[in-house]
Amino acid sequence: MKFLKRLKRSDSGLKLNMADLAERPEDVCSPCRGWYQIYTFQADEEPDFGELEWCLDRKDTLALVFVDIGGYRDRKLDAEALGRIRRILSFFQDNGYDMILRVAYDHQGKAVEREPYFWDQVKEHMHQVGELLRDYRERIFIYQGLLTGNWGEMHTTRFQDEKKRKELWEILQGYRPEGTYAAVRRPSYWRQLHGEQKNGKYGEEDMGLFDDAMFASEDHLGTFGTLSRENGWGEAWRREEELDFEEELCRSVPNGGEAVFGEEFQEKLTPKLVEDILRRMHITYLNKAYDSRILDVWKQWKYTGAEEWNGKSFYDYIGAHLGYRLVIRSVRFQSGWGGDSGRMEITVENTGFASLYQEAEFWLESVEEENTPPESIRMKTAGKSKEEVWNSGESRILLCDVPLKAQQLWLRANRKADGSCIRFANGCDKDGRTKIGELER
């Protein structure tokens, strides 16, 4: 554990009496990261929203909304179907969820039976889905897949060829709003949709990955291939090369999906190996309802790493580190240059598996007396532009000037797009703020 000094002095006669900022070994509720559940709907059937509300887990910030449009394989989505899908998306939006949206012809592994016969029909549906993305741009975090394939995973489909995938991707790009990521099922699909990028600047098109067969086998049930990358950019590469590719790509774009139990491969897994793979893939979100067999194994394992987590459930450790996890590491207060203000520097580390992809704002709140409204000071990030994602393992210094007076100090963070609270792993109050300490004479 990294210890923080309890007391900092300045030449103004003020001292910073610091709060307890030890990291808490528990998950925190922050947007666009963590465990999720799948909610499946038929475009031609009206959901029971009253019953659905009982199924929600309020600890989740993400929901995977799967809409099956197989009932419209021979015609476009009519006004009734589009209205129904909008009501579904509005339900999750109104309940405060960010959504992972997947629209597909099949959710039972029978795509060939449920997909349209004609390619033009698929393209028309892609245009209609694109309009939905525009309407819910503030809450759709990721759009998964390109309509086709078993479970919408783009494989086992009559529309398998690279040219058709590119056509759908180009249609989607014409509608996809800024801030909504796309995701495809395999790294090879990503490469087929993007020209060879020898400079390694992946992720500029805001397309990530989803892997619904993590740990099921050595190749994640066909997610990886057997060829070397020397055999071609669009081929499925062998495991280690694909993991290298994901490690680079997913610093900039999200990755997530499902962990699946594979009896033979499970024997090779250890807590350290699982953690290393999840960090290497930069996993932001995982299904907490499937597959219970591997999740139960994780619940039985004990974590043996960092001191504050040592002996805790490995499952809990995984959940707490999905996506980004912001931990305050040190606080420094100075006032050596005179005037009426001092300088506050707070070092924060992202210890999660993945980046903080969305722009965040950081505020230092000061309170002079009990029951008085706080004053908020916007903090800057030293040496970083606001567009840069906050990578896993990266520390940043937050800076601001503070008035030289006795006051209580709190750190607060929020997502810039809508003000959603981002919580620190050092503990926080009911408003999501973390107490830094008090300036005292």
Domain boundaries, the chain: 7-26+324-440, 34-254
- What is the spatial distance between Cα 139 and Cα 100, in angstroms, rounded to a whole number? 9
Place of tokens 């203000």: 341
Crossing angle, helix 119-135 and helix 162-175, to 10 degrees? 30
65-to-42, 69, 101 alpha-carbon distances in Å: 11, 13, 5
Local structure of 150: helix, strand or coil: helix
- What is the spatial distance between Cα 153 and Cα 71, in angstroms, rounded to a whole number? 18
| Residue 142 phi, psi dihedral angles, 5° rounding | -140, 135
- What is the spatial distance between Cα 118 and Cα 428, in angstroms, rounded to a whole number? 55
| Residue 295 phi, psi dihedral angles, 5° rounding | -65, -35
Residue 164 in contact with residue 189, Cβ under 8 Å?
Answer: no
Q: What does the pLDDT read at residue 198?
A: 60
CATH 2.40.30 corresponds to the domain 7-26+324-440 = no
Residue 360 in contact with residue 413, Cβ under 8 Å?
Answer: yes
Amino acid (one-letter) located at 396: R
Residue 23 in contact with residue 272, Cβ under 8 Å?
Answer: no
CATH level 3 topology of 34-254: TIM Barrel (3.20.20)
Pairing of strands 255-259, 283-287: parallel
To the nearest 10°, the Cα dihedral for 306, 310, 315, 320? -40
Q: What does the pLDDT read at residue 8?
A: 46
Identify the CA nearest to 355 among candidates 389, 319, 382, 326. Answer: 389
- Using H for helix, E for strand and C for coil, what is the string for 352-396? CCCCECCCEEEEEEEECCCCCCCEEEECEECCCCCCCCECCCCEE
Which uninterrupted H or E stretch holds 401?
strand 395-403
First to last CA, the chain: 30
- What is the spatial distance between Cα 347 and Cα 398, in angstroms, rounded to a whole number? 6
Q: What is the pLDDT along the chain (441 residues), one digit of tens a residue?
A: 444 444 444 456 788 999 999 999 999 999 999 999 999 999 999 999 999 999 999 999 999 999 999 999 999 999 999 999 999 999 999 999 999 999 999 999 999 999 999 999 999 999 999 999 999 999 999 999 999 999 999 999 999 889 999 999 999 999 999 999 999 999 999 999 998 876 566 766 799 999 999 999 999 999 999 999 999 999 999 999 999 999 999 999 999 999 999 999 999 999 999 999 999 999 999 999 999 999 999 999 999 987 889 999 999 999 999 999 999 999 999 876 567 888 999 999 999 999 999 999 999 999 987 777 889 999 999 988 777 899 999 999 999 999 988 899 999 999 999 999 999 999 999 999 999 999 988
Q: What is the DSSP letter of 146?
A: E
Q: Dump strand ranges (E) for 197-277.
A: 207-214, 255-259
Q: In the sheet where 326-334 sits, what is the strand order? A: 326-334, 341-350, 395-403, 380-381
- What is the spatial distance between Cα 382 and Cα 17, in angstroms, rounded to a whole number? 24
Which uninterrupted H or E stretch holds 347?
strand 341-350
| Residue 54 phi, psi dihedral angles, 5° rounding | -70, -20
